[in-house]
Amino acid sequence: MFSPTALRPRYAKWLIATGLFLVLGGCVDKPNTLERVKEDGVLRVVTRNSPATYFQDRNGETGFEYELVKRFADDLGVELKIETADNLDDLFNQVGKPNGPVLAAAGLVSSEQRKKQVRFSHSYLEVTPQIIYRNGQSRPTDAGDLVGKKIMVLKGSTHAEQLAELKKKYPGIEYEESDAVEVVDLLRMVDEAQIDLTLVDSNEVAMNQVYFPNVRVAFDLGDASNQSWAVAAGEDNSLLNEINTYLDKVKKNGTLQRLKDRYYGHVDVLGYMGAYTFAQHLQQRLPKYEQHFKTYAKKEKVDWRLLAAVGYQESLWQAAVTSKTGVRGLMMLTQNTAQAMGVSNRLDPKQSIMGGAKYLAYMKEQLDESIQEPDRTWFALAAYNVGSGHLDDARKLTAKAGLNPDKWLDVKKILPRLSQKQWYSKTRYGYARGGEPVHFVANIRRYYDILTWVTQPQLEGNQVAEGNLHVPGVDKTKPSQETPPL
């Protein structure tokens, strides 16, 4: 038999070994946030449902924040899963919850209060808070004019924090915070005189004001702020560091600027009276030609709303117009272009739209393969306006200037040079009114944006509410001739 005394050393060694194993096992590091994201293969992001952040149209998910964060997910090699918060308080509460979103990408501005809940990334967009009022009402000029006004802002927003601070100096300021609205709702409420004033960021005003022709900017309230993404509070910097690296990269390589240009670079094209006129023509003129646009756009594999936007830019959807230069019809085709596209009567709207669709598709096909979407569409529109030869000249000048000849953002800076002798004298095709295609493309992009909004499917009745989509409508009320503030 074994002696108990003899067993003691062995037992002690076993206890030490077991304890050491347990201690070492307990010291194994848990995966950090970035590692978990990559292991799961999913980046969970919470955002707001609004035109400036994230929404869905018939082509799927879109929005400035969505596109920016989708590229981040692609960089990580993971799937993007978007969640929308009912309000800002809910959004901040969701960040970092177990199995919940690890990142908030929703046009957020840092504040001392918010820093207690989350940590913010490097900035990617500068915005200015602006007081909004209705055209025809007395225009506020400073904070003191807010006293006695009916004001509403988003609950939990930095704008609510601003007004709370302002109320200390002007106790008469009263305002309501609501979690039942989004920015487009606030602008609509001002437009319809349901409230006197609201406070929203400049980028959202610029993007949405065309849908609400009576909305005006009164004045900027405070200095510009920077929008950032947010991650959970704590000491795990793995995801935050990766985000900052990504945001720095897209700033440097031009991706961020191209997104800004796409969503915000053409928002002031129409102006107030232009917005009203377009709204009227949407109701009165487009229905007569809409089916033709759809038929021939489908045949030529272009977006019918883009084709319709070209038609509006060219003729305001009028079939029997002729310019001083001899171009005619709804799509304003030259005689040579009409013949090449098989159009025998340029004043026949059906033939004109058919010819315009074929010509736009042809312009797109002629472009170099190096030009990718969405730039390819903008280049095709520019060529539709100024001709492919002049566009090639501009691209060559762009390359000589050290810019990217395959990016519309760069080429549109150079196109106006084609009207300056020191530049066009060095080109193959010579002089051109180079500023025209820049305005042509900008206008069409704006018309296209509006058509995309107002032609989304299922926009009647309860279907909008059930889908939780905030879709701005086009106000039919004619605004007064008051000159909008610069």
pTM, entire model: 0.65
Rounded to the nearest 10 degrees, how much is the dihedral formed by the CA atoms of 87, 153, 483, 206?
-20
CB 482 within 8 A of CB 218: no
Residue-level pLDDT, tens digit, the chain, 486 residues = 444 444 455 555 555 555 544 444 444 568 899 999 999 999 999 998 877 888 765 456 888 999 999 999 999 999 999 998 888 989 999 998 888 999 999 999 998 889 989 999 999 999 999 999 999 999 999 999 999 999 999 999 999 999 999 999 999 999 999 988 888 889 989 998 999 999 999 988 877 776 677 889 999 998 899 999 999 999 899 999 999 999 999 999 989 988 887 777 655 566 656 766 887 888 899 999 999 999 999 999 999 999 999 999 999 999 998 876 678 999 999 888 999 999 999 999 999 999 999 999 999 999 999 999 999 999 999 999 888 999 999 999 999 999 999 999 999 999 999 888 888 888 888 888 888 899 899 989 989 988 887 776 533 333 322 333 333 344 444 444 443 332
Which residue numbers are catalytic? 314
Q: How does pLDDT run across 441-455, given as a tens digit for each residue?
A: 998 998 998 888 777
Cα 65 from chain centroid?
7
CB environment 384-420: b (16+ within 10 A), e (fewer): bbbebebbbbbbebbeeeebbbbbbbbbbebbbbbee
Helices 375-386 and 435-454, packing angle to 10 deg: 130
Place of tokens 């108990």: 4
Query: Cα separation of 115 and 110, whole Å?
Result: 7
Strand partners, 125: 227
CB count, 10 Å around CB of 116?
A: 9
